[in-house]
Each structure stands twice: as structure tokens, then as C-alpha cells.
Structure 1
Amino acid sequence: MRQQRLYVFPEYFELRPLSEDEGSNLLGGSEALTGASVGERFVVENTRDNQHCYLVNLAIKSYLELFRQPRSEEAALEELARQAGCPTEAIAPTVRTFFQRMRRAGVLRSAGTDLQEESTWALTPGQVLGEYRVGALIVDKVDVALHHARQVGTGLPAVLKVFVLQGPRAKRERELFEREFSLMAGLAPHENICRLLAFHAGEPCYAVLEYAGTTPIRRATTNVCLSLPERVRIGAEALAALAHLHHHGLLHGDVHSRNFMLTDEHRVKLIDFGLARRSSDAAEASSVPHGGLPAFMPPERIEPGSLSISSRPGDMRSEVFQLGVLLHLILTSQEPFPEKVLWRRLAQSIRAQPAPRAVWAPEGERIPDALADVIGRALAKVPEERFPSAVELLEAWRRDARTLRARERAHP
């Protein structure tokens, strides 16, 4: 019989209460806020580099503390079920999903593993990988590092995404890493999707991606004065990217405003396919982690009784809802469901409260009723009332955008 692997919450992670002046914008999955009220939120802090890693609630804090002493996933599941007074089967899907995410983030590590075994290693600026010269570090995560890069000879900018995880977890995480770029390589090119320029499966394992700029769509639409026609165009390009995926039977898996970038030429680029999967593949639906920001969570993925995130993955209609949130943000500079509230209130509003109608752009221009209607349908609470996929949503958006342009030409 195979011995179960033991995991531990490393000593260099500290759990402490969240102070009032820290706000609620720390990194963390939406389930981290489930049921949390004032005084019940905690920070998982990496004391080695003084970074705030996660914002968690009391239940998750208790879960992590189980791993102060090494134990297996099954042992932790049994203990949590005992504390909750319920069968293990009732909480197993939620706990296992959370367990997987904590391991991916490095918050839970294999017991007895030397820190060097699971540490990341950094590339040196100036180093050459294939046709590309490594530049400054952009993001340094537990499993991957992103660097600026330039093609040797042409000087064209690019981004290097390098797999850096070592140790027992590396095999499974590397499979997911390689799968991400296998999907990208098989996808027909599209002007609004970040291109895969090269992939190297050896050591080091890395991908070279098209440089998509440094401006997330949220920042571009909230901090810059844009005309309504420009906002409508940006929305159309974001929809075109998802429509391309849906047309080819793919789900992005993590649709929100941070994964749409604006290039220096102000064109939209969809990035980060780490959670993408084939919509018809049941095996991938169960094996690929499910993403999502709290304010972009579709109502069908929120359990009505507990207000926790469902273990069931979303489908194309779920991503249509997320696109509705994105379109509302692009046109009004506001999300329909504000995220700077406790998760329970946010979840209740997503499930039960109608999304506010998109009426005014920040510059004082009134949003055409036809476009507001398109957003409203995308944000329908019942999936069957939404557009079936981003393809139909894009068609409706383009049709009404043409009407807007015709009206402007008639009344300059």
C-alpha cells in the first residue's frame, strides 16, 4: 500500500489578524472571505520576505493550523469533518480544491523537505535562452517566474515565463505548465490573444510570449479619460478574444479584468491560460484548478445556503457572466458588484440582487440603451437567460456598436 505523503504549514509563514489599515485587497481566493466578518480576517504572511500572501477567514486559519504538525490530506479531511459533525463526503470536494490551491501557492509543503528543494531559482538579466535575452524580473511566484526579454538580433520585446519549482510537487505542476502552452500552441492565432512565440520543454522549461504591455484593462478604463466609442471598442476586442476561444471549444478559466491587457498601441490582449480547458472534456473539468476573482464570480458557482464557492466548474455561460462584469467596468469604470466588501455580502448581492444598469460613462456620456441591454442579458442570474457563449455576445455588441457609430456620423 502506498504511503500517504505528509504536508506541513512551514514555520516561515505566520498567521496574524488583519489590521484595520491594511484594507481588503490582499491576494486570496474568494472562498478565503466566506463568512468572514470584522475581527475574523487573518493574514498569511511570509516572514522571509515580509510579503502578505493571503487574506483568510477563521475557518481557513484553523485548517492551516492543522498542518503545524505534518499530516496527510486525508487525515486533515477526517479531522475537519469530525469538527463539523458531518460525513467527509460532504466537505471533501471543497477541502480538496482548497488543499490543491494551498500546495500550488507553497503555503503547504511536503513535510521534511529541505527549503532549497522547493525553492525557486532566478534567471540572470543578460542571460540568453534560445533566441531571447533575459531582462528584468516581472513576477516571482512559487512555481513560475516572469521576466522581460528581447529577441537577440531584432530587439523585439517579449515575456519569458519560466517554470522554477523544484521538489516533490514539481512533477504535477510542470504537467499543468506544459499543458497551458500545448493549448495555446493548438489555438489559431487571434489579434486580441497573447501569442505563444516559443516553448522549450527541456531544462529550464520556459515559454516565450508576446509582450502585451503593462496596463491591465481595469487601470486603463478607470484612470484614463476615454470617449464612449473608445470604451465600446475596447469592450468589443475583449469579447473577440473570448469568442475566439469559445468558437474553438475552449474555456479561459479565469476571466477577469487583470487578465486583459492594453498594449502600448491600446489594443486588447488576453493573457494567462494556466486554467484554460476544453469545454467538453470532463477529465479536465475535474483536474484543472478553477479560477475567478470574487467580484466576477457567476451566481451559479455560489452555493445558496453556505455562500461558498461551488466545486462545480463554470461553462461558457459562466464566462459570459464574467464578460458582463467586465463590460460594465469598461463602460462605467465601476464593477456591478463592488469587491471591497465582505465576501458574504458580495456573494448575496451576486446571487440575489439585480445588477445595476450601465447608464453613464465616466466622462458624462450616456450609454446607449441597446448596449446596456446587452450587458444586462450577460449578467442574468439564470445561465439559460444569458447569451449561450461569447460568440453570440460579441455579435450583439458589434451590432449595437455599429448603430452607435451610425448615430455619431448622423449627428457629429
Structure 2
Amino acid sequence: MLLEVWPQIERAEEQASALAHHAPISVMTQQRLYVFPEYFELHPLSEGEGESLLGGSDASTGERFMVVDTRAHQYCYLVNLVIKSYLELFRTPRAEAEALEELARQAGCPPEAIAETVRTFFRRMRRAGLLRSAGADFRGESTWALTPGQVLGEYRVGELIVEKPDVALHHARQVGTGIPVVLKVFILRGPRAGRERELFGREFSLMAGLAPHENVCRLLAFHPGEPCYAALEYAGSTPIRQVMAEDFLSLPERVRIGAEALAALAHLHRHGFLHGDVHSRNFMLTDEHRVKLIDFGLSRRSGDAEEAACVPHGGLPAFMPPERIEPGSLSISIRPGDMRSEVFQLGVLLHGILTGHEPFSERVLWRRLAQAIRSQPAPRAVWTPEGERIPAALADVIGRALAKAPEERFPCAVEMLEGWRAAQRRGARPVRAGEGVCP
């Protein structure tokens, strides 16, 4: 899979191809040591993978590689030859300043000319976990892991779901009842842990203050001590994204799933919260096929300037609202989104649920995707993957949510949900492809 910071990497690639054009700034003096961990492997992109990931002619724009995490056997990054060479510099630990000197030598320019680009790139690589600290500078930085069978409070730990640089998610069961839960455990140790742990704790403080809702994952318990962890309602193992393109879901079922996803975010907006990371991987389907909204790590109070400044801003590329893409550079804006931004993301989600594909997802390269989001009208939702005609009233709701100008969208998910339900009531008999449709 591609990491969610794909647009930044595309931007970094563009910057790397024009290093000599940067204005001089002071050379970084950072002497910490970093390493590209041995559990990451670089694999040339096969012809079949190139077609499926890059889409047609884009696959021939240059040699590409996948960075594979051998611990989870998952793709982590799609990178070009320049970034591959850059990462390979760190197979043995080295300092940022040393890497800067080497990159400047390769580019044939003074270090000052590329220092800011390299510093930004370091920050993104560290955040993604592709460069990890090493050596004496970060003594004690490590991760802390749970062992299956271990008992944590009233929960017995099960298998690992996923491990990130700062947190790990485990299946678990409540001792005595056997009720399945998910444990989200803070595992980072070292100098960076304090700030990251603060953000980890505020996620569950926010969840604890939110009224329960049937389509929002519930916080069951939070343990602030050592280890620091939260027990969360088990929301199933199937993201909505996984079933969108399947051809076994009827139109009424797709409409119901869309309504439940809307209801989940409307619940947050009604109480003055932004989710912060609305996309098809953060809406799960339970074993009973009910929707659950998960992952509140980037959530914040709407209109709270202090939280907007300190909480990172998320978003998958294909779900990025146009107002968060800078028109000149096509980079992600540092300005945070608001409720209307999340309405746009809901429009992308609902288009995908009903049609089986996201409105701009075929444009995999970030610069093309960003240009399309900013300037091209979203395609109308017309047919489901099963060949059923989507009622015009529902397509209208999605179209309004995907308006380029924020003021033309629903002001919040609450009003969008009302529009969706009204459209459901006006919906007609499903029409299949090839049948006549009355205007």
C-alpha cells in the first residue's frame, strides 16, 4: 500500500529534480545519526505492478521502486531512483549534515542551496519511519511490545494487527467475558516520546467526552500509566474501501452504508468536533455489516485555534479538498480544514461507496491528482458496480458535497445527512444498465 504522505513525496521528488534553484540558507548543523532500517527492502517495480499502481502511461515516466516492510510484508512506499539512492545512503548510520554534503556533491551545488529541501525531506522520512534514529544521540529510544497471551488490566492480548513507529494495535479479549476488543498501545520510548504521548492521550480524552453513537467506535478504557494503552470496541476487520468495488452489494445496501458513514461524522460535527482524517480506511464494516468510524488521533474541536496549531493535519491524497491544495505549488496547505472540508471528503467517500471508485483516484501521480481536484468537475455518480442506476437525488447530494468552492457545499455533515435521507425518500426503483430511463 502507499503511505498517506504520498503527495509530500511527489513534491519532494519535484524538488529533488531542481535542487540548484533553491535560495541559499544556513547549512544544517544537526549531528544526530539516522539509519534506513534493515527490515525495509527496495524492490524494482514489476511491469504488472506499474500498470496497477501508476496507471497506463504514467508507469513509463522513470524507473520506480517499492519500499517493502518485511515485518508485515506490505508495500510502504513507491519511490523513484533519486529517492532510492538517497535512502541507500543511510544503510549505515550517518548524520544529516554528512548526507547533505554528499547530496550537494552529487547535485553539483553548494550545500546551502539545498539545505531546506533536505531538512524537509528528513522530517518526512522520519515521520514515515523510513529513517530511524541510531547511535549515541538517541540512547534509549526504542519501542515496547506486547506479547500474545499477556494480560493487560482486564484484557488478554492477542495477535498484532499493525505496528507503527509510535503505536501498536493488537487484537485482545476481555478476561472472563471473551468480548473482542482492540488494544492501541503507545510503544515509543526516548526523547521524542513525551510529545507523541501527549497527542496519544488527547485522542482518548476527546473520545471519552463524546456521547456514544452506534456508528462511532467506542472507547472502553484508557490506562495512562505504563504501559499506556486504550481498549477500543472491536469494529471489524473490513475497511469500507475493501468492499466498494465488489459486485455483490445491492444499491439499497450501498445507500444504507453511506447513510451510516454520514451519521457517524454528523455525530461529531453536531458536538463541535472534526475527525481530522476522513477517508475510506477509517470507516470499518463490522461482522454484521454495520459502519464504525475509527481512529481519532487527528481529531480536534472545530474553531479551536490552539488545537488547530498543535494537532497534525491528515488526509489521503484522493480525499484532499481543493482548498487544502496550494494553487501554485500543488503542495498541501498548512491551513487546516474545517467542517466543509470534511463534507468534501464525505462526498468522495459516498461517490466511492455507490460507484465502486473514488472520483479522482485514477490519477495516481500527485501533480495530476491535485490539478484534477482543484480544477476538474467531479464525475457524476451514475451506476453502481452491479449496473444499477443511482437515483438522481442521491447523485445531487454527492455533487453538492464535491463542489470546488466550500461555500457551495453543505455547511456540515449534519445537513448533508438530512439531504441524504431526503434523497432516499425520493429515490425510485433501481434501474439497471441498458434499461430506458425517464428524464
TM-score category of the 2 structures, normalised to the smaller one = 0.7 to 0.9
Q: Which runs of 4+ in 1 moved over 6 A?
A: 47-50, 65-68, 79-84
1:284 aligns with 2:307: yes
Alignment equivalent of 1:8, drawn from 20, 23, 34: 34
C-alpha separation in 2, matches of 1:201 and 1:126 = 21
Give the letter aligned to residue 32 of structure 2: L
CA contact (8 A) 1:5 1:110 kept: no
Give the letter aligned to residue 70 of structure 1: A
Alignment equivalent of 1:308, drawn from 331, 338, 362: 331
Which residue in the other structure is 1:247 paired with? 270
Give the letter aligned to residue 171 of structure 1: G
Moved more, 54-63 or 382-391: 54-63
C-alpha separation in 2, matches of 1:222 and 1:403 = 25
CA contact (8 A) 2:32 2:137 kept: no
Query: Structure 2: where are the runs of 5+ without partners?
Result: 1-28, 431-439
Alignment equivalent of 1:334, drawn from 340, 357, 360: 357
Give the letter aligned to residue 234 of structure 1: I
2:206 counterpart SS class? helix
Quickly say closer, same or farther: Cα 1:264–1:374, change in 2 above 3 A.
same
Q: CA deviation digits over 1:304-338, x for unaligned, max 9?
A: 22222222222111111110010001111111112
C-alpha separation in 2, matches of 1:266 and 1:46 = 31
Quickly say closer, same or farther: Cα 1:87–1:221, change in 2 above 3 A.
closer
Give the letter aligned to residue 324 of structure 1: G
CA contact (8 A) 1:7 1:108 kept: no
Which residue in the other structure is 2:369 paired with? 346
Moved more, 223-232 or 247-256: 223-232
Which residue in the other structure is 1:387 paired with? 410
Alignment equivalent of 1:147, drawn from 170, 186, 196: 170
1:160 aligns with 2:183: yes
Which residue in the other structure is 1:219 paired with? 242
1:400 counterpart SS class? helix
Trace 1:46-195 onto structure 2 (pairs within 5 A): 52-57=75-80, 69-71=94-96, 99-113=122-136, 117-195=140-218
Which residue in the other structure is 2:4 paired with? none
Query: Structure 1: where are the runs of 5+ without partners?
Result: 27-34
CA contact (8 A) 1:332 1:361 kept: yes
Q: CA RMSD in A?
A: 3.5
Deviation for aligned residue 1:399: 1.1
C-alpha separation in 2, matches of 1:226 and 1:186 = 35
Which residue in the other structure is 2:389 paired with? 366
Deviation for aligned residue 1:108: 3.1
Aligned residues, how many? 392
User: Structure 1-normalised TM-score?
Assistant: 0.83
2:336 counterpart SS class? coil
Deviation for aligned residue 1:375: 0.3
C-alpha separation in 1, matches of 2:134 and 2:213 = 44
CA contact (8 A) 1:104 1:143 kept: no
2:306 counterpart SS class? helix
Alignment equivalent of 2:400, drawn from 345, 358, 377: 377
Deviation for aligned residue 1:339: 4.4
Give the letter aligned to residue 386 of structure 1: R
CA contact (8 A) 2:156 2:172 kept: yes
CA contact (8 A) 1:320 1:389 kept: yes
Moved more, 203-212 or 3-12: 3-12
Give the letter aligned to residue 211 of structure 1: Y
Moved more, 390-399 or 139-148: 139-148
Quickly say closer, same or farther: Cα 1:25–1:392, change in 2 above 3 A.
farther
